[in-house]
Amino acid sequence: LHNRRWLEEMYTRELSRSNSGNLHLSAFMLDIDHFKKINDTYGHLVGDRVLIAVAKSILHCLRPTDMPVRYGGEEFTIFLPGTSIENAKIVGERLRASIESMKIQLPDQDDSISVTISVGFTERKDGDTVETIIKRADDALYYAKEAGRNKVCVNLGDGTMFLF
């Protein structure tokens, strides 16, 4: 996945394109639920395996034009150009279900572990900056986490949040 440096340039460019053409653009923030517990229980090698498996699953669920980034730690962000809030809901649930169904093999063992993610998303509003759209998606992410994790939440931008 891309990194934060790439995000600054490409997300700014995509947001500008979306604003100037009044095009749909949805933004996601997601993170792996209880990731610290995974590292503390199984070690950082397993934590790395989890990050790689989640990143691969994210890529598998997206179109080539979508823009996934490892935001930091166990957090990821995604811009979905040309994607309405209704279609973003479908993508968010696809991401959540795909990762929930994964089995991640533990090294040198017959056991595997499963992980879940919490997802927050929003749609571009007039006047958005990269920071404001990511902040709205992040607020939805934390709403999903507070509601019990392994959920998808949309932030409509007017203070209204809906869980799926």
Is the pTM higher than 0.75? Answer: yes
How far is 26 from 149, CA to CA, in rounded Å?
A: 21
**Exposure of 10 by Cβ count < 10 A (0-12 exposed, 13-18 middle, 19+ buried)?**
middle
pLDDT at residue 71, rounded to an integer: 96
Q: Give me the pLDDT at residue 63, please.
A: 97
Active-site annotation holder among 9, 74, 75, 86: 74
Residues of the chain with pLDDT under 50: none
Query: If you ran DSSP here, which 8-state letter would residue 62 be given?
Result: S
Percent of residues, the chain, with pLDDT higher than 90: 95
Asked if 86 is an active-site residue, the reply is: no
pLDDT at 107: 87
Inter-CA distances, 145 with 18, 47, 55, 72, 78, Å: 29, 20, 20, 17, 18
